[in-house]
Chains A and B, each alone.
Chain A
Amino acid sequence: MEIYKRILKEALDKGFQEAIVRVLESERTMTKIANSEPSVVQHWRSLDIGLYLVKDKRIFIAEVRGLDPSGTEYTLNQLFSIADKLRESELYAPLPEPGKPVEVGNLVDKNIDKYIEDPSSLAEEVISTAHEERIDYIAGMIDLKHEKEYIASSKGFEGMHEYTSMESYIRAFAGEEGSGQWSTCSTKLRRDKLAEMARIAARYAVDSKSRVDIEPGIYDLILSPMVFGNLLDYISYMASGFSILTGMSMFIKNKPGDKVASEKFTLIDNPHEPELPGSRGFDLEGVPTIRKPIIEKGILATILHNSKTAAKFSASTTGNAGWISPEPWNLIVEPGDYRLEELISEVKKGILINNNWYTRFQNYVEGEFSTITRDALFFIENGEIKTAVRKIRIADKLGNILRNIDGLTKERYDVKWWEISYPTRAPYILVRGVNTSKHTI
């Protein structure tokens, strides 16, 4: 795979002063399931080319999908011809010196290749495992991928990152109202994780069959890793220097060292966890990745940076590039010391929430948001689950949620799905005094 070096040479010969070329070569099969049968099986063999180019401090990004080499040549010509008509980027900073990529290792499982060719037995297993409970049907998907990423930069960096991934989520339905959802992810083909996912989703569906209405108000909430994982997406997005610069962060008013959360809460970005598919040894600027706390014992510890946002903040890159916007790799919440039953026993009046979706902000700077629950919810009174209840919204400030964390389980789950963008390892989490809301008519 020398194409990336050739394109880099072409870009520099053309007259761009700095360049990074990224070539993604992947093979992927996704089986979608609905009504406990496959609704479609999708396959992609892709070659995606990304270009980061600089001429006289003007920054250009190009995405070219296609194997026709004239495509990148055309794009380079097109960008070069317009370069002088743009202005210098306010984000411009010279590319950083590349470092030696970290050897993460153990990110490829050849077993996955076999199931990319024919995933039918995995689909069958997931369906049959879920149906061991008295459910009606399941929906979901199993996504298998093998990807190689090649990066070359004008700073002399050359790197190759290869990994496989298994991502899956299942939603089980039982009776008129019962439903439960769970997800999993790994760099390996993990049948045990698929089976655990199917069982948890099915169990939640069965347990939430008979529901009653609940009045909105202030409750202690136990958020499952699925729910908290979704909120972590927004928390980590807001911890990006780019989000702060563009007014999309509640941390706009904060600096590292500020207390922003309960001291019981620590969130790590760990790109070196071989089990999680976001792991990698170098970022998109060729900088070695590092494990770092984003929030440590309640203190904002790290703003995620690439070289450009770092320059704006007079800081150093954290190895999280993103050519424009820095991003986390794997989000890991440090565990607590509770078992789930013990966490429930800490609640006088509260709700345990299996899943949520549609998180939207009135104002990112203030952290004002709401999200609507879906799947199983259980009302907790005096330390015991009393009954399954119907949907309700969490409608509060994200800052309040972080500050009011009061307990976490020891056991954590690796989750990723539609509403969780980054591979996430999270426990169940108890948040005190959260505002909930519901339709008035």
Chain B
Amino acid sequence: MTISHDDIRNLLRLFDASDWTEMRLEVDGLKLVVSNDPNYSAAPAAAPAAVPATAPAAAPATAPAPGSAAPQAGAPVAAAVELKDGQIAVKAPNLGTFWQQPKPGAPPYVQVGDLVDETTTVCLIEVMKLFTPVKAQARGRVAAICVADGTMVEFDTVLLVLDPV
């Protein structure tokens, strides 16, 4: 069997509604780990990105203790991105932490190859527990995601590159 985005969405909805603290699923090479534990750290290698369970714009009760979701300290800033003809850069509106999905364990907003338009949310920028959605602001197909999940980005950093469509 294959697992679709919709399946994952439904699983996450069920997880959210449950009182579980953790869910692990392995099917056909896909490994999904979902956790509510802010200090959860993924097992080495095989695990998905170890994003602390910081729920975007969620009630404060579910927010981790201050400091636990610190961006990767000292992470190098993304190297300058060169745009090819016609490509469009989606840039950070301010300094903050780059998150690719609405909440930890959730599928990313967009992946390389996805079609987006002006209204599509492509990522979140977090400033001290305040999560601001970033819109693509142009029509295009995602050519590259330039920043690693959970890293600090500066104002104007290129987050994604879109190919014109």
A complexed with B: no
Residues of B within 8 A of A (CB): none
